[in-house]
């Protein structure tokens, strides 16, 4: 691989569940500093809750960012709850989500820096599309 590591990535994540719980998918789009898409994720999660899907989308996206060699990430998501849980403003209480939270925080600790922000749903359309692709075609 000749390309240099991306340095900073902007990562848009989204999780979707049709029914809560219901068929769920995690989606993410990773962009480099110039705005070029360097990664897309669409993963079917089976029957899960929306919050599980949101957290899994963040976990999968961070794993890909680290694999690509990112040193800084800007996480963007339309789940205000998950954004606040990552930033420490809210606690993660659900037993099923605590292990994912721990893995996410461990990955974030490997980075030089990160930001986390809530974006309106209309600014998160690409990640939303990826999460829905995962549900519509579970083989993805």
- State residue 114's pLDDT score: 98
- State residue 4's pLDDT score: 73
**Dist CA 15 CA 25 (whole Å):** 6
**Band of pLDDT at residue 3, cut at 50, 70 and 90:** low
**Number of structural domains the chain divides into:** 1
Q: Is residue 100 part of a domain?
A: yes
Q: Is residue 125 part of a domain?
A: yes
Give me the domain span that covers residue 84.
9-134
**Dist CA 28 CA 124 (whole Å):** 9
Q: Is residue 4 part of a domain?
A: no
Over residues 39-77, the pLDDT tens digits come to 999 999 999 999 999 999 999 999 999 999 999 999 999
Give pTM, 2 decimals: 0.95
Q: Is residue 109 part of a domain?
A: yes
Mean residue pLDDT of the chain comes to 95
**Band of pLDDT at residue 137, cut at 50, 70 and 90:** confident
Q: Is residue 38 part of a domain?
A: yes
User: Of the candidates 69, 97, 66, which has an alpha carbon nearest to the alpha carbon of residue 82?
Assistant: 97
- State residue 138's pLDDT score: 77
**Dist CA 130 CA 48 (whole Å):** 16
Over residues 77-98, the pLDDT tens digits come to 999 999 999 999 999 999 999 9
Q: What is the CATH number of the domain that holds 101?
A: 3.30.420.10
Of the two residues 122 and 6, the one the predictor is more confident about is: 122
Q: Is residue 58 part of a domain?
A: yes
């Amino acid at each position: 691989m000749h390309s240099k590591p991306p340095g900073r990535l902007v990562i848009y994540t989204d999780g979707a569940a049709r029914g809560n719980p219901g068929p769920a998918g995690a989606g993410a789009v990773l962009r480099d500093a110039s705005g070029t898409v360097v990664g897309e994720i669409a993963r079917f999660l089976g029957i899960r809750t929306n919050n599980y899907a949101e957290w899994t989308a963040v976990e999968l996206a961070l794993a890909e960012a680290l694999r690509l060699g990112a040193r800084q990430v800007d996480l963007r998501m339309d789940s205000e709850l998950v954004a606040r849980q990552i930033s420490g403003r809210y606690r993660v209480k659900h037993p099923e989500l605590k292990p994912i939270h721990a893995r996410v925080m461990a990955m974030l600790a490997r980075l030089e820096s990160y930001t986390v922000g809530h974006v309106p749903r209309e600014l998160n359309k690409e990640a939303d599309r990826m999460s829905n692709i995962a549900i519509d075609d579970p083989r993805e």
